[in-house]
Structure 1
Amino acid sequence: MARKRREEITSWYQKPEPEVCPLCGRIIPEDQRDEHHLVPKSRGGRKTQALHRICHRQIHALFSEAELEKSYATVEALLEHEEMRRFVAWVVKKPPGFYDGTKRSNRRQQGSPKRGFR
């Protein structure tokens, strides 16, 4: 019996394209991927956008849910805000897996009630 020639085997599996954060433009590692509701879920939002965890945390550190709903419900609107642009300019220089703790904006601290245990 004759041997069959080895033909090149093509796989049906195609590795998915890496996701890119629409804010900073860096590839999102799987362990740093967060889903952001463009309009907060508590305000009826359903549409989500995949973001870096650090970018997602920065959005919520800067803006209240009311601000997100009324003024910053798109990636383009977020990028128009001066503090968000400065953050993106800083984080774009970091490697994709970079994460650092996020501090609440001074602007948000003034108007929001203090929470926590006493």
Structure 2
Amino acid sequence: MARKRRDEEVVEPPADMAPQACWLCGRPLGARVEWHHPVPKSRGGRETVPVHPICHRTLHAYFTNTDLERHAEGGIPLASNPDLARFLKWIGNKPPDFHAPTRKARA
């Protein structure tokens, strides 16, 4: 059984459904899907988007809830962060269910 935090959901996509794309990296989703709030729930966000677990962990390693809120409100692409841009380039050719330890952001 998959472990869940309060702010994430792990779901299995229906077998008859065409694979969706990850909100962050754009790759097809695999067997595990997590749901991310582009505007954090703590900041009033209600919308959720599907992401890979590795993409979700990377987002939260590089951005605080305040950062995520500023990016969403200002229309600033998250990929403007050089560390996240480097991650997106690296993850771009990996299979949908690829997993690796998530690095912590440099202080």
The TM tier, using the shorter chain, reads: 0.7 to 0.9
1:30 aligns with 2:65: no
Q: Which residues of structure 1 form unaligned runs of 5+?
A: 1-13, 108-118
* TM-superposed deviation, 1:103: 2.1
Say whether the 8 Å CA contact 1:38–1:74 is kept in structure 2: no
Which residue is equivalent to 1:11?
Answer: none
C-alpha RMSD of the superposition: 2.2
Say whether the 8 Å CA contact 2:62–2:105 is kept in structure 1: yes
Cα distance, 1:76–1:38 mapped onto 2, change above 3 Å: same
1:101 aligns with 2:104: no
Q: Output the CA distance in 1 between the equivalents of 2:36 and 2:73.
A: 10
> Scaled by the length of structure 2, what TM-score is found?
0.76
> Scaled by the length of structure 1, what TM-score is found?
0.70
Say whether the 8 Å CA contact 2:31–2:97 is kept in structure 1: no
* TM-superposed deviation, 1:25: 2.0
Q: Percent identity?
A: 39
- Please state whether the residue corresponding to 2:77 is helix, strand or coil: helix
Q: Which residues of structure 2 form unaligned runs of 5+?
A: 1-14
Cα distance, 1:76–1:51 mapped onto 2, change above 3 Å: farther
| Number of equivalenced pairs | 93
Q: Output the CA distance in 2 between the equivalents of 1:50 and 1:74.
A: 21
Which residue is equivalent to 2:70?
Answer: 70
Paired letter, 2:31: E
